A = this chain, B = another copy of it.
């Protein structure tokens, strides 16, 4: 989208020729910026309430750098998921605000720190080894303007650790639960709270955990009705869904 078109649009709104609703509607359908190997959609932030996220996996450092460069002027927060040290070096040259969360490989550029979520998102992990996935959810939810709290290592085999935190669980507006192995924690948490629970299975485990499949199946078959599920290790997706819910 070139600047001129945007300027015209906004002036029409200002001049009363276009209502705000009409303007918003037009912006929803404005074209995207085409880099050949990627099509950047600056207006997704309007459509979905967030800047374009760059999925780092499968993209070269050159590609990521080029995409982020086009995004920076929009002044939205920028999230590069599943990235690596080398890419971070490139991105930090573009913006000193870039931060690298090594555990989850997430790069964040916070250019907008307004809190938009109405309550607290609580991110719970079953074990210590699930923390990288949980952290991806934390980073995502923070970048989308939420207050986030964490509760780690409260797996179901030591249920008193979880019950001990019952008040924090009940206080959250949305709960994200990351768990590997048998993936049972979302069911127990789901039974304790009335908030929506977003469950994210992790690939933590061995043998018959099949890289997170056991946890995924456990969550899909949860006997708690308030649980919905995202892909294995998809901390980003859990953080995104929880953010949308928390804005309502």
Checking B41, B152, B195, B227 against A158 with a beta-carbon cut-off of 8 angstroms, the contacting residue is B41
- The number of chain A residues with a CB under 8 A from chain B is 94
Identity of the chain B residue whose Cβ is nearest the Cβ of A215 in the assembled complex: B221
Docked complex Cα distance between A119 and B242 (Å): 18
What is A's interface to B at a CB cutoff of 8 Å? 29, 31-32, 36-39, 41, 44, 47-49, 53, 55, 57-59, 63, 82, 118, 126-131, 152-161, 163-164, 173, 181-184, 187-188, 190-192, 194-196, 198, 201, 203-234, 236-238, 240-241, 244-246, 248
Least distance between A198 CB and chain B CB atoms (Å) = 6
A159 touches B182 (CB 8 A): no
Q: Find chain B residues with CB under 8 A from A157 CB.
A: 187-188, 190-191, 222-225
Docked complex Cα distance between A241 and B77 (Å): 29
A225 touches B191 (CB 8 A): no
Identity of the chain B residue whose Cβ is nearest the Cβ of A53 in the assembled complex: B225
Docked complex Cα distance between A55 and B201 (Å): 19
Docked complex Cα distance between A72 and B241 (Å): 36
Q: Find chain B residues with CB under 8 A from A29 CB.
A: 160
Least distance between A39 CB and chain B CB atoms (Å) = 5
